[in-house]
């Protein structure tokens, strides 16, 4: 297959080199593996060698809001959230999260690269958007939150039966745009819980055990993807 300049730029952005494999999707939604043969600025050529059994992309458009975790655990969160099909990842500055002045120590500059490597490893055809860290109140004003059909925040203190009702097709009611908000160690503060609730987010408890923040991210994403048929 011939590659145009736009496709070449996309492959360069994904750091795909000659002789390396990548995932591509055609106009009919079929996914293939291809090997990059030649790449120049104006275009290139790739060899399509395998049709994949199914899509590498989730039917759900999931925005993950995750409070910035200490000990560089955001690197693991971004890696696994990419593998679990998140569409965008927004590190959040909250009352109990790592503060803005501590972001350099958490290797915030490496977060987008972590998503890129994870996307290549799990053969995704797309890259999740990885935002810069932002205050919670700020992200609640953006379209990725306000336009979501379902907004869930994890809370070990209470759970809403309206959040994920197993007896009703809530996934169909909510549409494909979802927000999952996960707080830091110690959870969201009372003020943050009130703000999230006021903005239409519903609390969800994952079992009776207190989970580490990164474990809650993985469990929450898996639960949502299962409901949408991705897992």
Q: Going by DSSP bridges, is the β-strand pair 61-67/88-93 parallel, antiparallel, or unpaired?
A: parallel
Query: Could you tell me the two tokens for 15?
Result: 């750091």
Residue 205 makes CB contacts below 8 A (sequence gap 6+) with 154, 155, 156, 157, 158, 159
In order along the chain (231 residues), what is the average pLDDT of each group of 10 residues?
A: 92 93 93 95 94 94 98 98 98 98 97 97 96 98 96 82 56 81 95 96 89 96 92 86
**Distance, CA of 144 to CA of 142 (rounded, Å):** 6
Kindly report the three-state secondary structure assignment for every residue of the chain.
CEECHHHHHHHHHCCCCCCCEEEEECCCCCEEEEEEEEECCCCEEEEEEEECCCCCCCCCEEEEEEECCCCCCHHHHHHHHHHCCCCEEEEEECCCCCCHHHCCCCCHHHHHHHHHHHHHHCCCCCCCEECCCEEHHHHCCCHHHHCCCEEEEECCCCCCCCCCCCCCCHHHHHCCEEEEEECCCCCCCHHHHHHHHHCCCEEECCCCCCCCHHHHHHHHHHHHHHHCCCC
Question: Which pLDDT score, from 0 to 100, does residue 156 have?
Answer: 82
Q: How many CB atoms lie within 10 A of CB 82?
A: 25
Look at the domain 61-227 and name its fold.
Alpha/beta knot (3.40.1280)
- Alpha carbon distance 180, 207 (integer Å): 17
| Tokens matching residue 136 | 């919670």
- pTM, to two decimals: 0.92
- Tell me how far the alpha carbon of residue 44 is from its chain's centroid: 30
What's the rounded Cα separation, in Å, for the pair 22 and 130? 20
Written as six digits, the tokens of 157 are 């203190």
Instruction: Find out whether 153 and 88 touch, Cβ atoms under 8 Å.
Output: no
For residues 90 and 65, is the Cβ–Cβ distance under 8 A? yes
**Cα–Cα distance, 224 to 206 (Å, whole number):** 12
Q: Taking a C-beta distance cutoff of 8 angstroms, is the pair 126, 119 a contact?
A: yes
**Residue 167 has what pLDDT?**
45
């Amino acid at each position: 297959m011939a590659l145009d300049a736009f496709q070449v730029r996309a492959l360069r952005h994904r750091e795909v080199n000659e002789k390396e494999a990548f995932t591509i999707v055609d106009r009919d939604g079929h996914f293939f593996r291809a090997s990059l043969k030649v790449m120049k600025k104006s275009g290139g050529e790739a060899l399509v060698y395998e049709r994949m059994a199914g899509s590498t992309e989730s039917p759900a458009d999931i925005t993950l809001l995750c409070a910035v975790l200490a000990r560089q655990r955001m690197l693991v969160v971004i890696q696994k959230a990419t593998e679990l099909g998140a569409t965008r990842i927004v590190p959040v500055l909250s009352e109990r999260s790592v503060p803005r002045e501590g972001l350099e120590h958490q290797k915030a500059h490496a977060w987008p690269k972590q998503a890129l490597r994870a996307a290549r490893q799990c053969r995704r055809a797309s890259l999740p958007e990885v935002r810069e860290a932002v205050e919670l109140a700020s992200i609640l004003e953006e379209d990725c939150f306000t336009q979501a059909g379902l907004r869930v925040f994890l809370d070990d203190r209470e759970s809403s039966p309206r959040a994920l009702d197993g007896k009703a097709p809530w996934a169909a009611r909510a549409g494909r745009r979802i927000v999952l908000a996960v707080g830091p160690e110690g959870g969201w503060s009372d003020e943050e819980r009130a703000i999230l609730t006021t903005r239409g987010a519903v609390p969800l408890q994952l079992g009776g055990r207190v989970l580490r923040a990164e474990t809650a991210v993985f469990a929450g994403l898996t639960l949502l993807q299962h409901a949408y048929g991705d897992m």
